[in-house]
Amino acid sequence: MRSQRHGGCFVLFLLSLLVVVVVVVVAVNVPAAAAAADEEAYLLQRPLVIELPTAEEVPAEVWCASWRLAAEADNLAPWKAVPEECVGYVREYVTGVAYRSDLEVVAREASAHARAARVGDDGRDVWVFDVDETLLSNLPYYAEHGYGLELFDHREFDKWVEKGDAPAIPFSLKLYKEVRELGFKTFLLTGRSEGHRGITVENLKKQGFHDWDKLILRAAADREKTTTAYKSEKRKGMEAQGYRIVGNSGDQWSDLLGFSTSARSFKLPNPMYYIP
């Protein structure tokens, strides 16, 4: 009888041990199986076939977003006016949060570059700023002229400039003040004519821009030059005087390209017009 009881106890012990082993194995493998299942959920079936939509299936706002991307990337150059079907899109962009957010991102990256740069003690490190759509906004003017739908009219635009009412772009004003505090020289290089120097100075100061080191405007001899050539020549002149161009901010590729370019350039968004 005693041997039978011992035998029964031994069998129960083996069964209990087996249950424990099974539980441990299941506990270990369940998370692994779950992880494997999660990984499989992200795997794409093969063969992978993606059908691009036809032109008829692309909504107007999507096409216009693609047009703006191409314009900002300089893939449409040269272009003269905003497509008629995209005027509403451009209006919503420049008057809404997207434009403001894009401006903020550019200014933030420029600020990071400025703070990371080593400013020398010789006063020769320079940040170049364009004026229109870079420091000052002409959005009130373009709101009256189709947000870029109308072909550019120099005489009409000059009338607007001569009012001296262009508001500051807030993120650019903040960047401008920061680079000055960091010890950079600030050179303002604009396509405005020399005849508008007085009103430009007045407008800039009224909007909070002070103490720049140079304000360079188009002289009569520069009138027939493209903006790319004109601004390249002025930057070359800066380098000839021993200046180091560490940063350059502008809304047009012609503000940034050419020769004697800066260590790093920052393109602000502008889907309303293109200047070669």
Tokens of 131: 């004026």
Distances (CA, A) of 152 to 122, 162, 200: 42, 16, 20
Q: What is the pLDDT of residue 114?
A: 98
Question: Which bin fits 209, alpha (ψ -120 to 50), beta or left (φ > 0)?
Answer: beta
Q: What is the pLDDT of residue 57?
A: 77
HSE-CB for 26 with a 13 A CA cutoff: 6
Please determine, for residue 39, whether its predicted confidence score (pLDDT) is greater than 80. Answer: no
pLDDT digits (tens, 9 = 90+) for 77-134: 899 999 999 999 999 999 999 999 999 999 999 999 999 999 999 999 999 999 999 9
C-alpha–C-alpha distance, residues 214 and 173, integer Å = 17
The SS3 of residue 77 is coil
In three-state form (DSSP H/G/I as H, E/B as E, the rest C), the secondary structure along 183-212 is CCEEEEEEEEEHHHHHHHHHHHHHCCCCCC
Contact 252, 274 (CB under 8 A): yes
Q: What is the pLDDT of residue 24?
A: 43
Q: What is the pLDDT of residue 19?
A: 46
pLDDT band at residue 44 using 50, 70 and 90 as cut-offs: low
Strands in 14-138 per DSSP E: 125-129
Please determine, for residue 23, whether its predicted confidence score (pLDDT) is greater than 90. Answer: no
Q: What is the pLDDT of residue 15?
A: 47
Please determine, for residue 22, whether its predicted confidence score (pLDDT) is greater than 60. Answer: no
C-alpha–C-alpha distance, residues 117 and 102, integer Å = 23
CATH of domain 57-267: 3.40.50.1000
Mean pLDDT (the chain, rounded):
88
Q: What is the pLDDT of residue 125?
A: 98
Contact 271, 94 (CB under 8 A): yes
Q: What is the pLDDT of residue 34?
A: 54
Please determine, for residue 30, whether its predicted confidence score (pLDDT) is greater than 70. Answer: no
Give kind and range of the element (H or E) at residue 86.
none
Please determine, for residue 4, whether its predicted confidence score (pLDDT) is greater than 80. Answer: no
Percent of residues, the chain, with pLDDT higher than 90: 78
Beta strands across the sheet bearing 264-267: 214-218, 185-193, 125-129, 244-250, 264-267
Q: What is the pLDDT of residue 73?
A: 96
pTM beyond 0.85: the answer is no
Please determine, for residue 38, whether its predicted confidence score (pLDDT) is greater than 70. Answer: no
Q: What is the pLDDT of residue 58?
A: 84
Average pLDDT over residues 55-74: 90
In 10 A of CB 116, how many CB atoms? 8
Average pLDDT over residues 144-163: 96
The SS3 of residue 126 is strand
Q: Where are the domains of the chain?
A: 2-46, 57-267
Please determine, for residue 56, whether its predicted confidence score (pLDDT) is greater than 80. Answer: no
Strands in the chain per DSSP E: 125-129, 185-193, 214-218, 244-250, 264-267
Q: What is the pLDDT of residue 200?
A: 98
Q: What is the pLDDT of residue 21?
A: 45
Distances (CA, A) of 192 to 39, 127, 143, 216: 59, 19, 20, 9
Amino acid at 160: W
Please determine, for residue 135, whether its predicted confidence score (pLDDT) is greater than 90. Answer: yes
pLDDT digits (tens, 9 = 90+) for 164-220: 999 999 999 999 999 999 999 999 999 999 999 999 999 999 999 999 999 999 999
